[in-house]
Chains A and B, each alone.
Chain A
């Protein structure tokens, strides 16, 4: 039954993403929709490379984002520089484990999850395996969905910086770490966007 389901490229067809015009697949890489002139391709060209590149860039930025302090809180002359992890630890120690868990999830778990998921997706696509395709597709959708929640930390820092300005008594200022963290989040989101999820299905349908 599954073998009976044909794919567009098996039929020598290609569809326009924008206007839905179905053309004949000539096999040439640089085609444009004759109707709406949007780029016409069976799969987004260079999707994997682009995703890889963005993912690697995001990962590179993730290192300073974790090692550099993201925020300086000063109260009564006692200045305290916090990295993401030390902030989580401090929240936990100072009696807000719930907040610590939220920040930990948003700033550590989610970016790491994205790196892992994207890398897994890319690797499986590269291998062309048809292992757990449905689950992988769901995973990709999940990553797309939760991707921007990682910006939580960046928003916290920018909000606190804007709100807590009481001079000597209490002051919050952002430190370079938050820039790298923001870049990481943006780049992972771009990576997720540039990944063509149809690639998951580009394999021999054996058991489907």
Chain B
């Protein structure tokens, strides 16, 4: 078919009209060029926007998600976690964070990072918003200009941030007590700061706490300020009753520190310098007590047993507590073969107050150094001796008493010896013990054996005697009793109502009565007519006349006359 049509088509075919193209086809390459430019701009933009990459190590990656968890400073996102991986030893996690360019100044050496999670503690609740939004990494930007890329993340949010205004102070304490980072610091029961950090001293003998006092209140911390641990409840029973002292309920549970100026006049009211060091006392009373001054170590050698003496037992000078026993150790004296006991104590001479000052002045005027040892030498020369005395008779607890004895035992004192050794004297309890021993000795001298033997013999004799009494005396005694019984029976029958004796007695008494009556008549008559005694009776004769009457008459007659 093509063969047929080909010639006919080729005959009168039109030719295309030639016209210039307006657009060159190569312009299409502008499209990929633009795309490349856009892509390049994206890359450049990302490059320019790219801030430093930092690595933060944490104990755990709890709540952190790569690509999602952000780093926030003052709630502004300044970076993002890109990867999380374990350290080669699997002890920690390393979180890689891409910081934004604008936040590159965050990566300085004293910046601190921590994970903001919901936290509920005694001190309060924080990070609740992260319950929904997920955890993020908080940052406290440091003041340093030294760039750093590797950081160790904090496990807890720092209680004090770099931008907080105020001052830090150092507190020295024996132990941490119930304090923790974030524990409140009170001034007149207003919370003015927090415990920022704590650490064990390098020698392990104490704890250093760093506290932070916020700006308007930091001026109240002066050189005279006293800090004490306000944790818990302070119950004291005194002459004025039971006292219960606490700062606040939160403090009771979570612990806290309080401070106040020491009582008395303060010549120096200037605020304390930043990072000034203070002592943290256990209680307010201790804090408010005059300062102890530097401690001195003294040693005492006791040749007597010190049962009842314990570490922390008080050391008293004339009844004033000047220190504590810190050690009790035993030694062996080869020469005497005895076991002396060395008691170490820490004393605070400043507790003696004026006495100490005067002694110091005296020592100085004499040209001695103002060390405790020379002062002690003077006192020892005056009869100062250490004694272990009974402080509590019930428990037998001892304390060390430094007293001037009237007749001190001779002692040598070496002022250059270190530690200072104070001569001792047996305590009153020791004397008591000696006397008791003497009594016991005397008791032991009593010949209890021979006394016993003698007593035994005497008892044997007594036994014999008793047997004799039983065998011979008792039967005789029974017979006697029988006889007596019979006698009594006879007497009884003689005295019975129908016995002749009784009847005779009755008639006799009747006679006697009658006689008495006539006597009365006589006496009546005689009292009426005393002359009748001489002249005899008148006309009417009396019914009865008894011859021996006159002798008994005066006693019987008045009773008749008085009868109406």
A interface footprint on B12-49 (CB within 8 Å = 1, 0 otherwise): 01111111110001101101101110110010000000
Q: Does A95 contact B (CB under 8 A)?
A: no
Measured between alpha carbons, how far is A23 from B12 in the docked complex, in Å? 9
Minimum distance in angstroms from B505 CB to a CB of chain A: 133
Q: Is the CB of A13 within 8 A of B29?
A: no
Query: Given A77-B133, A78-B133, A78-B134, A34–B16 Cβ distance below 8 Å?
Result: yes
Closest B residue, CB atoms, query A176: B42
Q: Which residues of A contact B132 (CB under 8 A)?
A: 76-78
Q: Does B392 contact A (CB under 8 A)?
A: no
Q: Which residues of B contact A34 (CB under 8 A)?
A: 14-17
Q: Interface range on chain A: under 10, 10 to 19, 20 to 34, or 35 or more? A: 35 or more
Interface centre among B2, B16, B31, B32 (most CB of A within 10 A): B16
Q: Which residues of B contact A37 (CB under 8 A)?
A: 17
Minimum distance in angstroms from B427 CB to a CB of chain A: 76
A interface footprint on B159-174 (CB within 8 Å = 1, 0 otherwise): 0000000000000000
Pick from A13, A183, A187: contact of B9, CB below 8 A.
A13
B interface footprint on A53-85 (CB within 8 Å = 1, 0 otherwise): 110111011011000100000001111110000
Q: Does B68 contact A (CB under 8 A)?
A: yes
Q: Is the CB of A54 within 8 A of B28?
A: yes
Query: Given A57-B34, A60-B32, A60-B39, A49–B25 Cβ distance below 8 Å?
Result: yes
Q: Is the CB of A32 within 8 A of B25?
A: no
Pick from A31, A78, A80: contact of B16, CB below 8 A.
A31
Q: Does A167 contact B (CB under 8 A)?
A: no
Q: Does B6 contact A (CB under 8 A)?
A: yes
Q: Does A97 contact B (CB under 8 A)?
A: no
Minimum distance in angstroms from B35 CB to a CB of chain A: 4
Interface centre among A11, A49, A57, A77 (most CB of B within 10 A): A57
Q: 8 Å CB contacts to B: which residues of A20-37?
A: 21-24, 26, 28, 30-35, 37
Q: Is the CB of B26 within 8 A of A26?
A: no
Q: Is the CB of B16 within 8 A of A40?
A: yes
Q: Does B490 contact A (CB under 8 A)?
A: no
Q: Which residues of B contact A14 (CB under 8 A)?
A: 16
**Interface size counted on chain B using CB atoms at 8 A:** 31
Pick from A30, A54, A64: contact of B20, CB below 8 A.
A30
Measured between alpha carbons, how far is A13 from B9 in the docked complex, in Å? 9
Measured between alpha carbons, how far is A33 from B17 in the docked complex, in Å? 6
Interface centre among B9, B17, B29, B34 (most CB of A within 10 A): B17
Q: Is the CB of A49 within 8 A of B28?
A: yes
Q: Which residues of B contact A128 (CB under 8 A)?
A: none
Pick from B16, B25, B42: contact of A26, CB below 8 A.
B16
Measured between alpha carbons, how far is A45 from B23 in the docked complex, in Å? 12
**CB-based A-B contact count at 8 angstroms:** 98
Q: Is the CB of A56 within 8 A of B35?
A: yes
Minimum distance in angstroms from B49 CB to a CB of chain A: 13
Minimum distance in angstroms from B321 CB to a CB of chain A: 62
Q: Is the CB of A49 within 8 A of B14?
A: no
Q: Which residues of B contact A78 (CB under 8 A)?
A: 132-134
Q: Does B454 contact A (CB under 8 A)?
A: no
Query: Given A12-B10, A24-B13, A32-B16, A64–B39 Cβ distance below 8 Å?
Result: yes
Q: Is the CB of B14 within 8 A of A57?
A: no
Q: Does A50 contact B (CB under 8 A)?
A: yes
Measured between alpha carbons, how far is A159 from B74 in the docked complex, in Å? 35
Q: Is the CB of A30 within 8 A of B29?
A: no
Q: Which residues of B contact A35 (CB under 8 A)?
A: 14
Q: Which residues of A contact B16 (CB under 8 A)?
A: 14, 23, 26, 28, 31-34, 40
Pick from A21, A23, A57, A77: contact of B35, CB below 8 A.
A57
Pick from A33, A49, A80: contact of B29, CB below 8 A.
A49
Minimum distance in angstroms from A50 CB to a CB of chain B: 4
Closest B residue, CB atoms, query A191: B31
Q: Is the CB of B10 within 8 A of A24?
A: yes
Pairs A–B under 8 Å by Cβ, sample size 17: A12-B10, A21-B14, A24-B13, A32-B16, A34-B15, A45-B25, A46-B28, A50-B28, A56-B32, A57-B31, A57-B32, A58-B35, A61-B35, A77-B133, A78-B133, A183-B35, A187-B31
Residues of B within 8 A of A (CB): 2, 6, 9-10, 13-21, 25-26, 28-29, 31-32, 34-36, 38-39, 42, 67-68, 129, 132-134
List 8 additional A-B contacts (Cβ < 8 Å) besides A24-B14, A53-B32, A77-B133. A22-B13, A23-B14, A26-B15, A30-B19, A31-B16, A34-B17, A64-B39, A183-B35
